[in-house]
Amino acid sequence: MRLARFGTLRVRIISLVVLTASFAVGLYTATISWVNTSSSVLQLNQRLTTLADIIGQNSTAALDFNDRKAAAEVLQALASEPSVVSACLYDRGGHLFSEYAHGRLACSSTAGRPPASDDEYRSVSRTIRHASESAGSIELTADMVDLHQRNRHMLLLAIGLALLSMWVAGGAGAVLQRRISRPVMELASAMNKITTEATFDLRVRIEGSNEIAQLAHGFNRMIGELERRNRIARDAELRLTEQSRTDALTSLPNRRHLVEQLRHELARASREKRMIGLLYIDLDGFKLVNDSLGHGMGDLLLCQVATRFASRVRASDTLARLGGDEFTVILTALERPEDARQAADALIECLVQPFVIEGNQITVGASIGITTQCPSSTEDPDLLKQADNAMYAAKRSGKNRAVHFSAELGMVARERLTLENELRGAIGRHEIFVVYQPEFDLKSGRLVRFEALARWKHPHLGDISPATFIPIAEDSGLIHILGEFVMEQACRRCLTWQNLPGAPVQIAVNVSALQFNSEDFVDIVSSILNRAGLPPKLLQIELTESVMIGSLAHTRDKILRLRTLGVNVAIDDFGTGYSSLGYLSQLPFTALKIDRTFLNNRGPTPESITMVQSMIELGHKMGLRVIVEGIEEERQLEMIREMGADDAQGYLLGRPCADPELCSASCFQGSIPHLEEKLHATEEKLAAVIG
């Protein structure tokens, strides 16, 4: 501490100034004292000589006329000269003539004593001359006490002045120090302040134009430069932060920003006791667009979707893109949970109008998961996960709809995760197998084809419904492997039937829209047919209406290519999905399969009968073979036959079976089991009624 204090500029400057001044003053004092002492001794000698001469001259008459009294009187004049302690007047013969003694020093009786020249006494001896003759001599002796005393006084005065000079020098040093080190200290403190507070708007006051001022000037310039660079760095950082929080494609907030914003909004909602909602949106059919039209087109579509969504949310809501085709909306300040549903419906509705991108008309839907957080809730749920689960539920329940999250959905989501993991190994473990359900020609009653249906028998979970695992396969991408596996199995099996009675028998295979829209789907079908050795005309590919999502031209082109191969293409589950008659007319299907829901809703109602009738007529008018699913009762069978449907399928006619050669052996005999009898019985009843 003490060393540090000694090392400060302040102490050093003052010390230097004081030391320099002390040295100079000391040297000056010593020199002056020495010169003063020497000169005062010299002066004393000179004065003694002069005095001796004067006294001598004044004593000549006394000597010449032998007047001792007069001589004594002359010598007495020396009383006014206190430093002269003795005066000895000698006559011409060297004998003591008169003397004057001020102190204890006495004259010798004869002249010629060597003059004293020590520290105590100084003496001079002068011959008295008058009229060219010696009249005698005089010896004057002075003591040095007075001289020494005066010299001492002089020295004390000099030392006093030296001390005063040092004090003044110390003061001057302090002033100098203030002028040098204070600005330096100010600089240092400014630097400290800048370092600790990280503020660059601080500037040092500049006074004068000396080196310190130049230093301060340089410092200010440096701080200015630092500030400039800091600003650039901060701007760059802000840009980076902005970029890291923004989705590059749509310029919407990204997942990271969303998570932050959600946390923020949750906190605010909790403070303000407001309800908050979260929508998790996944586009339906986007994958198809991406796969069929390329990523460039997909990106353009995403941008347009983002624009449409943005136009439908309030300014206070946060629309974000999580990645891929997933969007989210944070809904703030909701009154009721229904508000969230309204918002979701508005978003779905805004996608109805097709997008036009580079001349292509593209339609996408949206599956939306909704979750809301009540202000009273003390839980801290993972809203994003809830909304995600709800969104999957929406997907599963038919897509293009919004589903509100519930506790059950959470369970389903967990179960679904388990199944997805199980499904990955299921094909390899032969847990997936194919069952076949027969379809009959209503006119001839002959077996025309089997529909191949995938089944999953899990060793622990038991039979798992296709309604459960097919969406999982679609979401996880396993649908391609699964689809190919089923198609190949079915084709190989179908080939074996061609040797049985009742041949030719077709095989109908359901194809997911994902499969259908993959680039090489036609090639895959072709290679499966080749491997199985099945004639293409025996294969009927069944597509759901969801294939119509995406590019109509591409779908049409692909169907045409399949038909060029010789494969039949049917539209499955007709009347349930996106059915657009406009699309239907443009796609070259070979068959139309009316969904079972039209017959199974607690028996046919007049409306459903009318609709089935219309659909059959529509199909026929478009030159399609019309197949009706879900025949469970004989009256249904009779009804559709009368309506003119071409083929029928249902539990009444045959359940799905892994080995149709055994369980439906009679089918291969050429007709529907007991169908003719049933038909006859019905006709008889009718005849009886009519009759």
Least spacing, CB of residue 62 vs other proteins, in Å: 7
Pairwise CA distance, residues 684 & 181, whole Å: 125
Nearer Cβ to other proteins (91/451): 91
CB of 26 to other proteins, least distance (A): 53
Q: Which of 37, 78, 24 is nearest to 56 (CA)?
A: 78
CA separation for the pair 190, 197 (Å, rounded): 10
The dihedral region occupied by 63, where left means phi > 0, alpha psi between -120 and 50, and beta the remainder, is alpha
Give the C-alpha distances (Å, rounded to integers) separating 407 from 29, 341, 379, 664.
104, 17, 14, 44
Could you tell me if residue 76 is left (phi over 0), alpha (psi between -120 and 50 degrees) or otherwise beta? alpha
Q: Indicate the residue among 60 and 540 with the shorter CB distance to other proteins.
A: 60
Smallest separation, CB 106 to other proteins (Å): 18
* Residue that has been written with the tokens 């001469």 in this structure: 53
Shortest distance, position 35 Cβ to other proteins, whole Å? 39
What is the spatial distance between Cα 13 and Cα 417, in angstroms, rounded to a whole number? 80
CB of 105 to other proteins, least distance (A): 23
SS3 letters across 416-427 = HHHHHHHHHHHC
Question: From the CB of 108, what's the least distance to other proteins, in Å?
Answer: 17
**Which pair of tokens denotes residue 193?**
């302040």
132 or 353: CB nearest other proteins? 132
Cβ 80 to other proteins shortest distance, Å:
18
**CA atoms of 204 and 576, how far apart (whole Å):** 79
What is the contact surface with other proteins in residues (CB under 8 A)?
Answer: 57-58, 60-62, 64-70, 92-93, 130-133
CB nearer to other proteins: give 65 or 119.
65
- For residue 107, the tally of other CB atoms under 10 A from its CB is 20
Is 627:645 a contact under the CB 8 Å cutoff? Answer: yes
63 vs 559, beta carbon nearer other proteins: 63
Q: Classify the C-alpha dihedral 224-228-233-234 as positive or negative.
A: positive
Residue with Cβ nearer other proteins (52 or 262): 52
Nearer to other proteins, 110 or 361 (CB): 110
CB of 84 to other proteins, least distance (A): 21
Eight-state DSSP code of residue 3: H
Which CB sits closer to other proteins, 132 or 378? Answer: 132
- Give me the least distance between CB of 99 and other proteins, in Å please: 14
What's at 110, amino acid-wise? T
C-alpha gyration radius of the chain: 63
- Which is nearer to other proteins, 133 or 676 (by Cβ)? 133
> What ranges make up the beta strands (E) of 527-675?
539-543, 568-574, 591-594, 625-628, 647-648
CB hemisphere CA count around 251 (13 angstroms): 5
Nearer to other proteins, 54 or 172 (CB): 54
Place of tokens 């006329």: 65
Distance CA 21, CA 425 (A): 98
The least distance separating other proteins from the CB of residue 61, rounded to whole angstroms, comes to: 4
